[in-house]
Amino acid sequence: MKCRYYLIIALFVAFFSPASVHAQKCKLDVDELDQFTKEHVKAGTSKVGGMMWHWKLTLKKSGNTYGWEMRIVLSGHIPQPIKKGDIIYCKLKNDEVVQLIADNDYAPVHAVNGSAIVTQFVPKGSLDEAAMKAFSKSPMSELRATVSGNKLEPKISGKQGKSIQSIAKCILEP
């Protein structure tokens, strides 16, 4: 009887272990075929920075083109745009630095939140495959953006860094 019990447990572990332990479950916001271009589109978004930052980084791929988009929310009225060519630096845990370069000027959008004014920017740009592979090889550990002459460095948690790494891995999967 004991032998049968161990055999059942061994079969159960052998059958279910590889799928649950080794397989990476891709959770992207978008993973679909564009009905107009017939290109495969993949995109995933992760929060970056602490609770007060409200920033999000999106990595994406459409066909063979890679890109990024970042939602930056700041307290106060900031009138200057993020300019074409402005760089957001992403430092990875392996000390590699990936540059996110704004492809256009991005005007600020202002809103009133209670009694405070909030400014939001949504810069975008393209990435090459090497940059996406860099994101997939190591978690992001630091981020630096310069907005209106101020260097901003939201703290990137280990969970956020791994989330961005996971998104990049999923985007690179065939």
Dig out the tokens for 70 from the structure.
């970042």
Phi-psi region of 10 (alpha: psi -120 to 50; beta: other; left: phi over 0): alpha
User: What is the CATH topology of the domain spanning 25-172?
Assistant: Immunoglobulin-like (2.60.40)
Average pLDDT for residues 34-41, to the nearest whole number? 94
Cα 52 from chain centroid (whole Å): 18
| E strand residue ranges, 28-93 | 30-33, 40-48, 55-62, 65-75, 87-92
Instruction: Read off the pLDDT of residues 49-99 as tens digits, 9 standing for 90 and up.
Output: 988 889 999 999 999 999 999 999 999 999 999 999 999 999 999 999 999
Looking at residue 106, what DSSP letter applies? B
Across 42-78, b (16+ Cβ under 10 Å) vs e yields: bbbbbbbbeeebbbbbbbbbeeeebbbbbbbbbeeeb
Letter for the amino acid at 51?
M
pLDDT at 14: 40
Letter for the amino acid at 125?
G
Give the dihedral sign, CA 141/56/30/25. positive
Percent of the chain with pLDDT over 90: 78
Letter for the amino acid at 19?
A
Q: Cα(22)–Cα(113) distance, rounded to whole angstroms?
A: 45
